[in-house]
Amino acid sequence: MQIAVDLVSWLFLSMGMFLGLTGAYGILKFPDFYTRVHAASISDTLCTACFVIGLALQSGFNLVTAKLFMILILLWLTGPAASHALVRAANTAGLKPVTEKKD
Amino acid sequence: MLLCEQQTPRGLNQLPRKKTEMELAVNITLLLMLCATVFAVVKLQSLFAIVMLFGIYSLLSAMIFVALDAVDVAFTEAAVGAGISTVLMLATLVTTGRWKKKPERSGLLPLFVVTITGAALVWGTLDMPEYGNPANPAHHHVADRYIAESPTEIGIPNMVTSVLASYRGFDTLGEVIVVFTALVGVLSLLQVRRPRTFARKQDNRPDTHRRRPYPVLQVVALIMMPFIIVFALYVQFHGDFGPGGGFQAGVIFAVAFILYTLTYGLDDSLALTPLPALKILAAGGVIIYGGTGVVSMLLGGNFLDYNVLAANPVSGQHIGIIVIELGVGITVASVLITVFYAFVTRAERNRAGEKQVDLPNKAD
CB contact under 8 A, B216 and A77: no
pTM for this structure? 0.82
B222 lies within 8 A of chain A by CB: no
Question: Is B220 within 8 Å of A88 when comparing Cβ atoms?
Answer: no
B304 domain-assigned: yes
pLDDT in tens, A23-80: 999 999 998 889 999 898 888 889 999 999 999 988 888 898 999 999 999 999 999 9
CB pairs under 8 A between A and B: 14
Contacts of A85 in chain B (CB under 8 A): 214, 217
Distance CA A32, CA A39 (A): 11
Please name every residue paired with B266 in a beta bridge, in sequence order, or none if there are none: none
Asked whether the beta carbons of residue A81 and residue B214 sit closer than 8 angstroms, the reply is no
Whether B224 has its CB under 8 Å from any CB of chain A: the answer is yes
Tell me, yes or no, whether B149 and B91 share the same domain.
Answer: no
A80: closest CA of chain B, how far (Å): 10
Residue B122 is predicted with a pLDDT of: 93
| A77 has a chain B CB within 8 A of its CB | yes
Contact assessment for residue A46 and residue A80, using Cβ atoms and an 8 Å cutoff: no
The reported pLDDT for the residue numbered B12 is 42
Read off the amino acid at residue A92.
T
Instruction: Report the first-to-last Cα separation within chain A, whole angstroms.
Output: 55
Distance (Å, rounded) from C-alpha B87 to C-alpha A101? 37
Predicted-assembly ipTM surpassing the 0.85 threshold: no
Q: What is the pLDDT of residue B241?
A: 87
Residues B300 and B177 occupy one common structural domain: yes
What pLDDT was estimated at residue B156? 86
Q: pLDDT of B216-252, one tens digit each? A: 899 999 999 999 999 999 999 988 888 888 899 999 9
- Domain limits of chain A? 2-91
Query: Is the domain of B153 the same as that of B295?
Result: yes
Sign of CA dihedral B179, B181, B183, B186: negative
Mean pLDDT of B22-32: 90
Looking from the CA of A59 toward its CB, the CA atoms found within 13 Å total 15
Q: Which residues of B touch A77 (CB under 8 A)?
A: 220, 223-224
pLDDT of residue B175: 93
B90 and B167 share one domain: no
Domain containing B69 equals: 20-102
| Mean predicted confidence (pLDDT) in B130-134 | 78
d(CA B133, CA B128): 11
Task: Tell me the C-alpha to C-alpha distance, in Å, between residue A65 and each of A52, A62, B30, B224.
Answer: 9, 6, 28, 21
- Determine which of B90, B94, B216 to mutate to test the interface with A (most A C-beta atoms within 10 Å): B216
Q: Do B224 and A77 touch (CB under 8 A)?
A: yes
Residue B112 lies in a domain: no
- Contact criterion met (CB < 8 Å) for B217 and A81: yes
| Residue B195 pLDDT exceeds 50 | yes
Domain contains B259: yes
Fill in the DSSP letter of residue B214: -
Q: Do B259 and B157 reside in the same domain of the chain?
A: yes
Q: Residue B256 — φ and ψ, nearest 5°?
A: -60, -40
Question: How many domains does one find in chain B?
Answer: 2
Query: Nearest-CA distance from A81 to chain B in Å?
Result: 6
DSSP label of B128? S
Is B166 found in the same domain as B70?
Answer: no
Please name which of B269, B235, B233, B225 lies closest in space to residue A81, comparing C-alpha atoms. Answer: B225
pLDDT at A101 over 50: yes
Answer whether residue B292 is part of any domain. yes
Best residue of A68, A73, A83, A88 to probe chain B, by most B CBs closer than 10 Å: A88
- Is B7 a domain residue? no
> Higher pLDDT residue, B150 or B279?
B279
When scoring A84, A87, A95 by the number of chain B Cβ atoms within 10 A, the one with the most, hence best to mutate, is A84
pLDDT confidence of residue B354:
60
Measured between alpha carbons, how far is A93 from A90 in angstroms, rounded to an integer?
5
Per-residue pLDDT, averaged over B265-292, amounts to 92
Whether the Cβ atoms of residue B84 and residue B251 lie closer than 8 Å to each other: yes
List chain A residues with CB under 8 Å of B216: 81, 84
Looking at residues B349-354, what average pLDDT do you find?
73
pLDDT category at B6 given cuts 50, 70, 90 is very low
Q: What per-residue confidence (pLDDT) applies to B147?
A: 85
Neighbours of B237 (CB within 10 A): 16
Give a yes or no: residue B131 inside a domain.
Answer: no
Mean pLDDT of chain B: 84
Length of chain A: 103
A91: contact with B, CB 8 A cutoff:
no
Does residue B179 sit in the same domain as residue B97? no
CA distance B95 to B136: 47
Q: How far apart are CA B81 and CA B59, in angstroms?
A: 8
Give yes or no: residues B67 and B146 share one domain. no
Query: From CA B129, how far away is CA B299, in angstroms rounded?
Result: 44
pLDDT at position A99? 79
B126 assigned to some structural domain: no
Looking at the structure, tell me whether residues B166 and B264 fall in a common domain.
yes
The answer for residues whose C-beta is within 8 angstroms of residue A58's C-beta and 6 or more apart is: A6, A9
Q: Is residue B91 part of a domain?
A: yes
CA–CA dist B250, B326 (Å, integer):
9
pLDDT digits (tens, 9 = 90+) for B302-344: 888 888 888 888 899 999 999 999 999 999 999 999 999 999 8
Distance between B210 CA and the closest CA of chain A, angstroms: 15
The arithmetic mean of pLDDT across residues B121-140, rounded, is 84
Residues from chain A that touch B223, judged by Cβ atoms under 8 A, are: 77
pLDDT band at B202 (very low <50, low <70, confident <90, very high): low
Q: Does A5 touch chain B (CB under 8 A)?
A: no
- Res B197: pLDDT: 57
My answer on whether B142 and B291 are in the same domain is yes
Cβ B220–A77 below 8 Å, yes or no? yes
CB contact under 8 A, B224 and A78: yes
